[in-house]
Structure 1
């Protein structure tokens, strides 16, 4: 039965579980982020700074489709974690089967739409002027590989819900290493330019997909599904959709943010300003890997113990996760503030980009020490299956605060107004999340009589 091996989530010390879950997740995110980072460095040095901007235009489109898999994975994994905690393995299996069917159908459908309207989508996301042609080359090839990425993202979250973080880590490492090797061969040795970068990315997605399939077919996985589990079950589908919509909505807002930022910055400073944002975006993915790793590690622990009714362990997991991720966030903040100039020179020697990026990067990372509370708070509501609070808190940073700020502040302060919007949105969303998380702990997770006596 699936719950035998996953039972450690309800018994082992929280600090040990969090490290056990978060460390592989952090390493996986680190390698994946390094892949994106080094990929950008390769492209910037071997093709040119315009190529960095071109990839930045394509990312929100491909990532949104891939985020379908992540959304379905996280939504279904919340159900699986709670089902395992309650000893309901049949629901866990049905959920997993529905996740696979849903991911495959939706990702393929969106890829077809994306390829049909390619000439309209690329300019809409900032692929204008000299950026358009390289962006179109990259976009066309990468989109074919995105369904494999969507299935990988879905499967990775299910692997973690089973309590197998090391395998989830390997699933994230494989495409990263593959992409870097192929980048060197196709871009540097074979001089294939943007086409080489795109082929390397798509092939790496397929390698990840192959590993995830192997895991679930092997004895390592406890979720052994059959054909009956692939048929849609409306109650399960509804729960997956409601919880997964939180992640999908977040990625949709991220894509809208890219659209706005690329267009606003193109109008304010042309291709160079778009490149500045592309570099900062890569650093956001890379530098925050330990904080995101703790958040990923926290999800199955909170979900399992909530399903088992262990309120004390849920409270402890929240407090420990916030503490660990806050310390890591502070270290990230110190590193960015100290080494921002050195970081930028790794990507490009374009004098305008080298001049403008360090100050912008410092503004973007200014509130990093406090974002842990916002991330853990919104993740908690998703882990316990409360879709609406999770959705609202997830959207608070970029949807409710950042987008209005980035539309208003540049009118008065120009390009600096764009960068100031980042820390302001972080502070406001953290305050909102702190209020609702504290309220939830006091009302829902209050100590039982036995805990008080103990």
Structure 2
């Protein structure tokens, strides 16, 4: 696969450049998503559907801590892309050094707090009834590996900002393959249950960190920092914080959504309904991988060319990214509308000798998941505009509009909808909240993106 240098971001054809950036990002996201998907299938078949619900309870907590690293990474990478575009290499080095130090400091503190208050956190996120014990086992082990994941997420965005998408892709593939291999060994062969699933995930994080570390100390990276670059530089920290807060706010909102959804659905249908949401949630991570890949590929292209003052190329990158992402989203939409029952059945155990309660949960999940999946993904063809529009403002360093547009779907629309609609429509109201929020958020994002392009990029 062709390697892209930082300078090529400002000279090569936008279409070809977006393919070079987006394909590795999409493959990396696909493999990571497949990891989550297959991991859930293994857990559901080898441990049980309650175990899937338990992992769904833990994910928002561990993902939030990992998102601290991602937010530092994306915030700093926006600075790095623009600094490289403006030929200011020293600022890029200082930014990267500050990203490393800040990620380590924040995530270690969060892990300590997370382990201290474990018995309060798990029930708050819906880990009640039979879900609590397996969720606690999984949570405690996985949390030890989360700082490694945070450093991987931070480093991955910097690798992409350097114009090295192939290496970013490999960094995402390694932990996924490692996790699946360890799943087979720890769960199927050693029969360690939830502890095995947790150790497999943690080892995957460590493998990812090892590769990212190798990239930056090898000749592949252009960012060779010294110890002095790790010293906190207040103006850079402020800029990382203002831009990274967009990603952090998005993930914090996602964690709040998981908290609300798990609790609301537990009240509507108990552990089985939480398992339905766990399967739908896995498909939200997996099915949209090509759209997220285009978005990730778009970020360094837009940031570099904006920093270089090449506004026509920025306009072209926006329109091309939206077109590519919309095509991908439409293909995903068709598949999910046709095969929801077949997808749901993959997560459920068919082995002989499972308990009557497990059989009852499986029957409930298989009955309710297809309708839920069709409603959740009903507005998928239009989300490309929403994602690329919000990403554009983040890429060019405009933190406030990026933050507001990022929060529009989940914060301003979705959370109020899932609180209000179930009171009148029950379970149906929960699933209808997804497409309604998508449509409203896309309309607002489209309006502000068009206004910005006329004002700044004409």
State the Cα distance separating 1:138 from its structure 2 match.
Answer: 0.1
SS of residue matched to 2:388: helix
Q: How does 1:114-125 map to 2 (within 5 A)?
A: 114-125=114-125
Q: Establish whether residue 35 from structure 1 lines up as the match of residue 35 from structure 2.
A: yes
State the Cα distance separating 1:377 from its structure 2 match.
Answer: 0.2
Q: Establish whether residue 385 from structure 1 lines up as the match of residue 392 from structure 2.
A: no
Q: Establish whether residue 364 from structure 1 lines up as the match of residue 352 from structure 2.
A: no
Q: How does 1:172-183 map to 2 (within 5 A)?
A: 172-183=172-183
Q: Establish whether residue 429 from structure 1 lines up as the match of residue 441 from structure 2.
A: yes
In the alignment, what sits opposite 2:226? 226
State the Cα distance separating 1:319 from its structure 2 match.
Answer: 0.1
Contact 2:5 2:164 in 1 (8 A): no
Q: What's the TM-score once normalised by structure 1's chain length? A: 0.97
State the Cα distance separating 1:332 from its structure 2 match.
Answer: 0.4
State the Cα distance separating 1:300 from its structure 2 match.
Answer: 0.1
In the alignment, what sits opposite 1:450? none
Looking at structure 1, the residues matched to 228 and 447 of structure 2 have their Cα atoms a distance apart, in angstroms, of: 44
Looking at structure 1, the residues matched to 309 and 32 of structure 2 have their Cα atoms a distance apart, in angstroms, of: 35
In the alignment, what sits opposite 1:195? 195
C-alpha RMSD of matched pairs (Å): 0.6
Contact 2:142 2:198 in 1 (8 A): yes
Q: What's the TM-score once normalised by structure 2's chain length? A: 0.96
CA displacement 1:132-179 (0-9 Å, x = unmatched): 000000000000000000000000000000000000000000000000
Structure 2 residue ranges without an equivalent (≥5)? 350-361
Looking at structure 1, the residues matched to 280 and 209 of structure 2 have their Cα atoms a distance apart, in angstroms, of: 29
In the alignment, what sits opposite 1:5? 5
Q: 1:414 aligns with which of 426, 436, 454?
A: 426
In the alignment, what sits opposite 2:386? 374
Looking at structure 2, the residues matched to 241 and 34 of structure 1 have their Cα atoms a distance apart, in angstroms, of: 31
In the alignment, what sits opposite 1:452? none
Looking at structure 2, the residues matched to 68 and 17 of structure 1 have their Cα atoms a distance apart, in angstroms, of: 29
Q: How does 1:46-61 map to 2 (within 5 A)?
A: 46-61=46-61
Looking at structure 2, the residues matched to 107 and 400 of structure 1 have their Cα atoms a distance apart, in angstroms, of: 28
Q: Establish whether residue 354 from structure 1 lines up as the match of residue 390 from structure 2.
A: no
SS of residue matched to 2:339: helix
SS of residue matched to 1:5: coil
Looking at structure 1, the residues matched to 371 and 251 of structure 2 have their Cα atoms a distance apart, in angstroms, of: 26
SS of residue matched to 2:6: helix
Looking at structure 2, the residues matched to 276 and 81 of structure 1 have their Cα atoms a distance apart, in angstroms, of: 41
Q: How does 1:96-135 map to 2 (within 5 A)?
A: 96-135=96-135
Contact 2:276 2:368 in 1 (8 A): yes
Looking at structure 1, the residues matched to 443 and 215 of structure 2 have their Cα atoms a distance apart, in angstroms, of: 41
Looking at structure 2, the residues matched to 109 and 71 of structure 1 have their Cα atoms a distance apart, in angstroms, of: 16
State the Cα distance separating 1:5 from its structure 2 match.
Answer: 3.4
SS of residue matched to 1:67: helix
Contact 2:73 2:99 in 1 (8 A): yes
